[in-house]
């Protein structure tokens, strides 16, 4: 059947012309309806399967090539993402481009790059494991409900379906859409036929244990694959489909011999539940329906980096049933008319006239506003907005940070929607440190703290912490911003600590001292945006040293010293551990007039990627501009990545120069939801200590070459390596945890 369109030009102000325009519109809609009635109604079902869901795009490419219109679509999990994008008017080509260019490994890391964290949160990351955060609130101890909250995932969905034009509502989409999720509270099947498109997509993809559930309508929703992974009956009901095209990309059950770890057991349990409901769904297929199951052997639910290959396999599977599909084809004119109704309009980006921050229970909205750089009265920049919202999220107070664009006739309102952590506002934080090396034996410590946030409207915080093990410490610190923008702050702190310090002569341990220290500081500081921080203040220290074992080589007794200090820390590395690019610098100065000495420390670090190799370097210098450093405040070399062939603190002195060159090859990545790369690395280090405090033949410049394997784990960075010096010193070491 051919459809002919006749263009009628309407002249405003003339009643007869308006009537003609109305009649033309009715006539065109009637013609399209007649065309739809002359063919079978087609329902498309896109099943869940994680990264295997990219095969759906290949199927859509074949449907497009064959000119097959779709009357409704239903999807689950990754199928919900593709179905939602298709119903919103995205072409298969656009979807292939967008999903292929997405960094899914990064997307499953909620926080922005380390360089975009405020400096206080960088310091917290240096002291505690990010994944150890445990909420302490009115309801007692609470935990995060998933490894990933899905912040980057949700923002990606927003950008994919153009929510910057305004919230995309399912009931307003050109193709009727159903998205399946599961109520984790009662196991019920939940079907989205209206409401927020991106919220429904995010809910349907909430793999239990990996992605946190989505709370909406009083329910906590997770992956719809648990109850209806291939929703055939839903799409048949949704548009009274005469023909159902069902695409199944689900993962097969694991071989029993491969089920051993806790992760594999959990995955197998999910696969069993999924396969059971898929079997029931497939049993409802009719002889007139078309079933497509791509050959995805060797591709797992986490293989997002094989997106293009997976899409190609989906296209091949659809081409395998092309004769069945051909009978659903329509003419070029019919298909063009159908696509014209659903295609995403290419509109200019909207102007933002007003920015609103949703009210929160604890956090001052000004803390969100300071991160938003979108100018009022200018066109919305979605990429910049996503970056700003990630920076808001990176402040650490929010479970999610989303936005809605309220598109009005005269004013467009950008409404930022931060949701405070349900497990906050106070937290317990933890860290472990385990180091074993050939030269100095083993050390171990467990670190914990109670972190109280937003004690007042300016964002005052308190940390009460303790460390037990080789080093024992208790401490209290308070951080009080002085303005709403948190540009300036005051930070008092007090701590009591004790630890054992080894003393070496050449490569031999000759003594062990117990050092006890009580210290207090009062600092006035300024945050330099997200670049870093400067601090000026006073530090008072009482240090006591006593010989535990060995030969007395250093003075024992007590010493009290105090003075003013100034520090500047700038950090633009993209990661705390195993960075790939960026730079950082540190400058510390301390002056004790009563003890007639000063201490200067300067350090610069940097990293730069070349393919899958990361080059890095570090230089540092310590000196006493006034007087000589006393033994109780001296510097040292030795220990992992600080002249690694030598024991920690083996070389002690007044003036220290150090340089390091590093090359690391990325040899793998940890699974989704975990952190970082696995790397094989090599470092060359050189250091020199002048005015030594212990007798040694290791004078002048000392070198160290290290070979190591390393990676970032949920317990912190791990290193296994061997270091050798031309002086004859060597070290075999294992390190795990937070330094």
**Residues carrying an active site annotation:** 77, 223
Tokens (6 digits) for 439? 């030269």
Give Cα separations from 499 to 33, 513, 586, 646 (angstroms): 82, 8, 25, 20
* Ordered DSSP codes for 572-629: --S-SSS-SSEEEEEEEEEEETTTTEEEEEEEEEEEEEETTEEEEEEEEEEE-SSS--
Cα end-to-end distance, the chain, whole Å: 73
List the one residue out of 443, 554, 437, 439 whose CA is nearest residue 506. Answer: 439
- Alpha helix (H) ranges present in 148-231? 151-160, 197-204
User: Whole-angstrom Cα distance, residue 677 to residue 666?
Assistant: 6
Q: Which of 251, 291, 293, 258 lies closest to 272, judged by CA?
A: 251
Q: Which residues contact 123 (CB under 8 A, 6 or more apart)?
A: none
Helix then strand count (H, E) for the chain reads 15, 32
Q: What gap in Å lies between CA 525 and CA 489, rounded to an integer?
A: 5
Pairing state of beta strands 613-623 and 635-637?
unpaired
Indicate the helix (H) or strand (E) that contains 244: strand 243-247
* Site of tokens 């600080």: 642
Residue ranges of alpha helices (H) inside 320-436 are 322-326, 332-342, 366-369, 382-394
**Which residues on adjacent β-strands are paired with residue 621?**
602, 657
Chain-centre distance of CA 314, in angstroms? 29
Residue with token string 């600092």: 523
Specify whether the CB–CB gap between 515 and 544 falls below 8 A: yes
- CA 622 → CA 231, 590, 637, distances in Å? 67, 11, 11
Q: How far is CA 675 from each of CA 129, 304, 735, rounded to the nearest angstrom? A: 12, 16, 17
Structural contact between residues 78 and 50, judged by C-beta atoms closer than 8 angstroms: yes
Provide the angle, in degrees to the nearest 10, between the axes of the packed helices 78-87 and 55-65: 30
Neighbours of 412 (CB within 10 A): 18
Q: How far apart are CA 440 and CA 425, in angstroms?
A: 41
Structure tokens at 13: 């102000």
Whole-number Å distance between alpha carbons of 181 and 230: 12
């Amino acid at each position: 059947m051919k459809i002919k369109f006749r263009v009628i030009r309407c002249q405003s102000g003339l009643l007869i012309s308006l009537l003609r325009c109305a009649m033309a519109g009715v006539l065109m809609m009637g013609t399209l309806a007649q065309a739809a009635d002359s063919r079978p109604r087609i329902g498309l079902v896109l099943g869940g399967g994680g990264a295997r869901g990219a095969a759906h795009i290949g199927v859509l490419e074949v449907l497009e090539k064959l000119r097959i219109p779709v009357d409704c679509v239903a999807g689950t999990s990754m199928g919900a993402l593709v179905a939602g994008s298709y119903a919103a008017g995205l072409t298969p080509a656009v979807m292939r481009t967008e999903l292929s260019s997405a960094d899914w490994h990064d997307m499953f890391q909620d926080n922005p790059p380390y360089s975009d964290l405020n400096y206080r949160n960088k310091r917290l990351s240096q002291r505690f494991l990010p994944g150890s955060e445990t909420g302490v609130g009115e309801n007692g101890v609470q935990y995060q409900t998933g490894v990933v909250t899905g912040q980057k995932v949700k923002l990606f969905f927003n950008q994919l379906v153009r929510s910057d034009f305004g919230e995309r509502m399912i009931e307003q989409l050109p193709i009727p859409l159903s998205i399946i999720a599961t109520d984790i509270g009662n196991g019920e099947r939940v079907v989205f036929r209206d409401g927020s498109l991106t919220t429904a997509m995010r809910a349907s993809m909430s793999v239990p244990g990996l992605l946190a559930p989505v709370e909406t309508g009083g329910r906590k929703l997770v992956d719809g694959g648990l109850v209806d992974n291939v929703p055939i009956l839903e799409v048949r009901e949704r548009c009274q489909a005469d023909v159902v095209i069902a695409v199944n990309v689900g993962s097969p059950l694991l071989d029993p011999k491969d089920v051993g770890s806790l992760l594999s057991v959990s995955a197998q349990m999910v696969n069993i539940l999924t396969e059971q409901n898929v079997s029931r769904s497939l049993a409802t297929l009719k002889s007139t329906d078309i079933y497509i199951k791509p050959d995805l052997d060797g591709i797992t639910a986490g293989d997002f980096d094989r997106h293009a290959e997976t899409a190609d396999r989906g296209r091949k599977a659809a081409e395998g049933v092309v004769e069945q599909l051909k009978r659903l084809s329509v003419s070029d004119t019919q298909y063009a008319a159908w696509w014209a109704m659903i295609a995403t309009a290419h509109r200019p980006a909207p102007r933002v006239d007003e920015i609103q921050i949703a009210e929160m229970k604890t956090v001052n909205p000004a803390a969100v506003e300071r991160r938003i750089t979108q100018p009022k009265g200018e066109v919305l920049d979605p990429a910049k907005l996503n970056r700003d919202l990630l920076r808001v999220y990176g402040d650490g107070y929010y479970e999610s940070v989303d936005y809605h664009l309220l598109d009005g006739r005269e004013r467009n309102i950008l409404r930022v929607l931060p949701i405070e952590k349900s497990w906050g506002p106070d937290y317990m934080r933890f860290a472990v440190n385990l180091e074993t090396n050939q030269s100095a034996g083993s050390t171990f410590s467990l670190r914990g703290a109670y972190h109280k946030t937003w004690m007042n409207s300016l964002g005052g915080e308190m940390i009460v912490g303790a460390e037990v093990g080789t080093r024992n410490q208790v401490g209290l610190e308070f951080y009080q911003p002085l303005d709403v923008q948190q540009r300036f702050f005051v930070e008092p702190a007090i701590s009591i600590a004790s630890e054992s310090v080894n003393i070496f002569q050449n490569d031999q341990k000759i003594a062990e001292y117990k050092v006890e220290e009580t210290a207090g500081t009062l600092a006035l500081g300024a945050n330099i945006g997200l670049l870093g921080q400067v601090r000026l203040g006073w530090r008072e220290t009482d240090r006591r040293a006593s010989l535990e074992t060995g030969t007395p080589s250093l003075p024992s007794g007590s010493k009290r010293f105090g003075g003013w200090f100034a520090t500047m820390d700038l950090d633009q590395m993209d990661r705390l551990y195993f960075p790939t690019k960026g730079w950082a610098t540190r400058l510390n100065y301390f002056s004790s007039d009563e003890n007639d000495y000063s201490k200067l420390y300067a350090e610069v670090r940097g990293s730069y990627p070349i393919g899958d190799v990361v080059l890095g370097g570090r230089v540092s210098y310590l000196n006493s501009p006034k007087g000589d450093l006393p033994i109780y405040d001296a510097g040292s070399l030795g220990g992992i990545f600080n002249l690694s062939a030598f024991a920690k603190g083996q070389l002690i002195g007044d003036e220290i120069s150090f340089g390091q060159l590093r090359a690391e090859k990325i040899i793998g990545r940890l699974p989704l939801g975990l952190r970082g790369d696995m790397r094989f690395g090599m470092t060359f280090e050189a250091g020199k200590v002048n005015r030594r405090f212990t007798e040694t033949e290791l004078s002048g410049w000392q070198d160290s070459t290290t070979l190591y394997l390393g990676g970032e784990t949920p317990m912190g960075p791990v290193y296994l390596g061997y270091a050798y010096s031309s002086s004859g010193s060597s070290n075999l070491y294992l390190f795990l945890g937070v330094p």
